[in-house]
Homo-oligomer: A and B are copies of this chain.
Amino acid sequence: MSEFDLIRRYFTRPASGAVLGVGDDAALLHVAGGMELAVSTDMLVSGTHFFPDADPFLLGHKTLAVNLSDLAAMGAVPRWATLALSLPDADDGWLQRFSDGFFALADEYGVELVGGDTTRGPLNLSVTIMGEVPQGMALRRSGARAGDDVWVSGALGRAALGLAHLQGRIDLAGDVRSRCLAALHRPQPRVDLGLALRGIANSAIDISDGLLADLGHIAESSHVAAEVEYAAIPADALRGVDESLLRHCVLSGGDDYELCFTVPAAKRGEVETLAAKLSLPLARIGAIAAGQGCTVRSTDGSVMTTKEAGYDHFA
């Protein structure tokens, strides 16, 4: 199978939403009038982000999901993606399942693959995703204001717990295991939530490095302080799991791909309505105040010692 056959067979689909899709030196896209283009890139590396023997279907899903999550956090409608992949060899079965996983999620959100690159090398998957958002309406990290509530979607810590389970550090069972492994392998980007938060949230970020680190980015960019109540953070009730490991997973595990966002307290009702409309749990976990930094308080009101920053590839 040649490189061109490979691209033709697995990665060339009609792109009716593009002026020109896969097959030329560049794709050509038309960004609608009044819209800004939102662009984000994420790279997944074998051995760093996933096990070398990861299920290729789930890997195709996750490769796109982590990028969709970035657009969700901006309140942008996902439209187009490019995929650059480095492969140790051209394995038909692997490519079929990987592309099936990628396109299944792409189809769900109307994303078109419009270009890419295929090369030989250690397994590496790099997606650039592009979407549209009405001018001036994007959700930024820098918009949080004192008096905002801090919210998160879904439950936190699951992906990190799932990883700990696979690494043999803890032993999960039953529903919790299923949920944690699903969160790790098949994260659901909160695209609909991001779109619905336009005009409601003052700021938003997706939780990829862990709540503490990512809410810390909001605090830093917005020049405010974030205070979170640990007990208010939605997480699975787990027995027999070391408390400090659990806390690490919930606060700093990362790979959650839930949204963390801030909304003026006056709009609490709108967020609650949204949660019902989207059938997605949205939890109010804290508040924004004047100051700086990100603080977590335990049930008795004391500040928890959390030296844990988010996941850092080079720390």
**A residues with CB within 8 A of B:** 1-4, 6, 19-20, 23-31, 33, 36-43, 45-49, 69-71, 73-74, 76, 80, 82-87, 89-90, 114-122, 124, 126, 128-131, 133, 135, 138, 140-142, 204-206, 221, 309, 312-315
Q: Is the CB of A41 within 8 A of B117?
A: yes
- What is the copy number of this chain in the assembly? 2
Known: A40-B115, A313-B3. A46 touches B121 (CB 8 A): yes
Task: Given contact pairs A42-B84, A47-B121, enumerate 8 new A-B contacts (beta carbons under 8 Å).
Answer: A20-B140, A26-B76, A29-B37, A42-B117, A43-B84, A43-B85, A45-B121, A49-B119
Q: Using Cβ atoms and an 8 Å threshold, which residues of chain B touch A122? A: 45, 121-122, 124
Which of B30, B70, B83, B120 is within 8 Å of A314, CB to CB? B120
- In angstroms, Cα B24 to Cα A6, docked, is 34
Which of B6, B27, B40 is within 8 Å of A25, CB to CB? B40
| Nearest chain B CB to A73 CB, angstrom units | 4
Q: Is the CB of B41 within 8 A of A119?
A: no
Q: Is the CB of A130 within 8 A of B315?
A: no
Known: A40-B115, A86-B45, A314-B90. A26 touches B128 (CB 8 A): no
